[in-house]
Structure 1
Amino acid sequence: MAATGLRTRGAAPRGSYWTIRRRDNLVGYLMAAPQLIGMVLFVLMPLGLVFWYSLHEWNVLAGTFEFAGGENYRKLVADPSLRSVLGATVLFSIGLVVLNLTFALALAVLLNQRLRGTTIFRTVFFSPVVVSLVAWTVTWQFLLQSNGGINGLLAAVGMTGPNWLRGESTAMVSVVVVQVLKNVGLNMVLFLSALQSVPRQLYEAAELDGAGAWTRFRRITLPLISPTVLLTSIITVVGSLQVFAQIAVLTQGGPGTSTTVLVYYLYQQAFQFHHLGYGATLSVLLFAIVAALTFLQWRMRRKWVFHES
């Protein structure tokens, strides 16, 4: 038949390099190229450069850049301040993660009820998330001073408050609370979205079987929102290890080194003391800690995430 000699419309000629499959692959590569280029330029290259800088001693003031090998890593192991810095980092991260997730989940459960005014409260608790971080922190710096607004409220009821940001026992607590209030709304919204996806029929069936509120929460709510718990825990843990502006504005790492977390110590070494090579080494340590904790949480998902097998 004459039709058999006709070429299919849109098909590449026989022997042509640009076949349909190759054209489709090219389109896919072009679509993914911006993301890949961004990852190479802003993730992989900086990581490589930080590791390279950690092998050198870079003095910006003297204009020297000398290869030091593993000297910065030996200095890291022998650093007498590192133990207290890591201790403050662990204390801050545990306090932030526990309070943030607990408070966010409690708020989400309360605001998931069919009550009047819940929309207003959702807006109130989420609004700090969109407020400028520096503006939020500076405001709390004034509130937490010895003659600030918090102590003014305590004085109104006959109590004397401490200097919250200068006390050994109150500085870390103050920083943690300020950070929790700033970001708890984000996790609250994530939890609220997860709670609204839980079928109501499960709660009704559990009530008919005589299950109490705590049993329903433990046996139904937590298992079904466990993927969101995993997501929020990873986000919160990583965020807790990267906190800098709050420490810099509120306490500058003090009193002493009680609030000097790893990121702020890195900043001090690299940009205040101009030990850029050692600062890069601390960056490598921070990256290793974040990567290890994220990997550990991801591996543990099979044990406590309901949808994983």
Structure 2
Amino acid sequence: MAATSTGTTRGTTRAAYWTLRRRDALAGWLFIAPQLLGVLAFVLVPVGLAIWFSLNDWNIYSGKMTFVGGENYEAAVNDANVVDVLGATLIFSGGVVIFNLALGLGLAVLLNRKIPGGAVFRTLFFSPVVISVVAWTLVWGFLLQDNGAINGLLSLVGVDGPNWLFEGPTAMISVIVTQVIRSVGTNMVLFLAALQGVPRELYEAARIDGANNFTIFWRITIPLISPTLLLTGILTVVGALQAFAQIAVLTEGGPELSTTVLVYYIYQQAFQFNDIGYGSTLSLMLLAFVLILTVMQWQLRRKWVFYEN
């Protein structure tokens, strides 16, 4: 009798431990475990290693690593090229963000009007997104050559085209245009989905009140799609700061440093000049820029992002 009573008590204790709340918590942890492992393996560990490498001078040929403290950070402050690199990064990122968002929104507004052949245009503008970055950039590299197709078309109308990829201003314009044309399809689709979610009744009421198209767009459309504007803004800024293949294939950072953005400069220092410590320092600088811009955009959402609830 005593044995039966003891066994029942133990069984009750074991059953009571796995309460509904604990089972739900375990299921939740199991669901997010792959993401947590991915963040640990591909974010936290690499960032930790970058911080450690930035504090050392690592000779990859001899395998010798010497602790130098803040010397790499001091070198970054005193590097005269960093100013030009940051300037090129600002111009490239600013151009990509402004033209990408403006063109993406404009195309979405146009396609939202259900024009004839809208599906064909949507597919046409989105197709570059699924093409390999390197393949896309190589094709544009041939088109932008001095004797390429673009200058050939210009010569038909009597225009002597420039050497697009070997002159400072046109080189930057070329890499910006190449990046925008390839990535604008993603923002176009996101904006189009947001526009289709705006209630038609609001437009009809505004027109009855005498509002013109610009007022309707600025007072109704923009506020209601502002969450999507925030999302696309963050994605476009981060993508522009991480652009590498376009620069590496088209201009290799030239002429001089006119198209050397920070990502490409990091690659040069770490893998061409084999200065892993200095390259890690610059990569942490890039990480800081991305975090600061993302946090700024996220904080500004309280002032201009409209949420229905």
Is this a same-fold pair by TM over 0.5? Answer: yes
Are the counterparts in 2 of residues 105 and 188 from structure 1 also a CA contact under 8 Å? yes
Q: Tell me the secondary structure at the aligned position of residue 66 of structure 1.
A: strand
Q: Which runs of 5+ in 1 are unaligned?
A: 1-11
Q: CA deviation digits over 1:181-226, x for unaligned, max 9?
A: 0000000000000000000111111111111111110111000000
Q: How does 1:212-251 map to 2 (within 5 A)?
A: 212-251=212-251
Q: What is the aligned residue count?
A: 300
Query: How far is the alpha carbon of 1:56 from its aligned partner?
Result: 0.5
Structure 2: which amino acid aligns with 1:15? Answer: T
Matches within 5 A, 1:139-288: 139-288=139-288
TM-score, normalising length: structure 1? 0.94
In the alignment, which residue of structure 2 is the partner of 1:19?
18
Whole-angstrom distance in 1 between the partners of 2:127 and 2:58 = 43
Distance 1:32 1:293 in 2: 27
Q: Which residue of 2 aligns with 1:7?
A: none
Deviation of 1:31 after TM superposition, in Å, equals 1.9
Q: CA separation in 1, counterparts of 2:169 and 2:43? A: 38
Question: What is the CA–CA distance in structure 2 between the aligned matches of 1:196 and 1:31, rounded to whole Å?
Answer: 33
Q: CA RMSD in A?
A: 1.6
Structure 1: distance between partners of 2:276 and 2:200: 56
Q: 2: CA distance between counterparts of 1:59 and 1:308? A: 56
Structure 2 residue 63 is matched with structure 1 residue 63: yes
Which residue number corresponds to residue 297 of structure 1?
297
For structure 2, the 5+ residue unaligned runs are 1-9
Deviations 1:39-59 (Å, cap 9, x if unpaired)? Answer: 111111111111111101111
Given residue 260 of structure 1, which amino acid in structure 2 is its aligned partner?
T
Q: Secondary structure at the match of 2:61?
A: coil
> In the aligned structure 2, how far is the partner of 1:23 from the partner of 1:83?
55
Q: Counterpart in 1 of 2:87?
A: 87
**By how many angstroms is 1:308 displaced?**
8.1
Residue 179 of structure 1 deviates from its aligned partner by: 0.3
Structure 2 counterpart of 1:43, one-letter code: V
Q: Aligned equivalents of 1:27 and 1:239: distance in 2?
A: 34
The answer (yes or no) to whether the contact 1:302–1:308 under 8 Å persists in 2 is: no
Letter in 2 for 1:78: N
Rounded to whole Å, the distance in 2 between the matches of 1:266 and 1:130 is: 27
Flag the structure with higher helix content: 2
Aligned residue number for residue 5 of structure 2: none
Aligned to 2:6: none
User: Distance between the aligned counterparts of 2:157 and 2:206, measured in 1?
Assistant: 46
- SS of 1:65's equivalent in the other structure is strand
Shift of 1:66: 1.0
2:13 partner SS: coil
* TM score, norm. by length of structure 2: 0.94
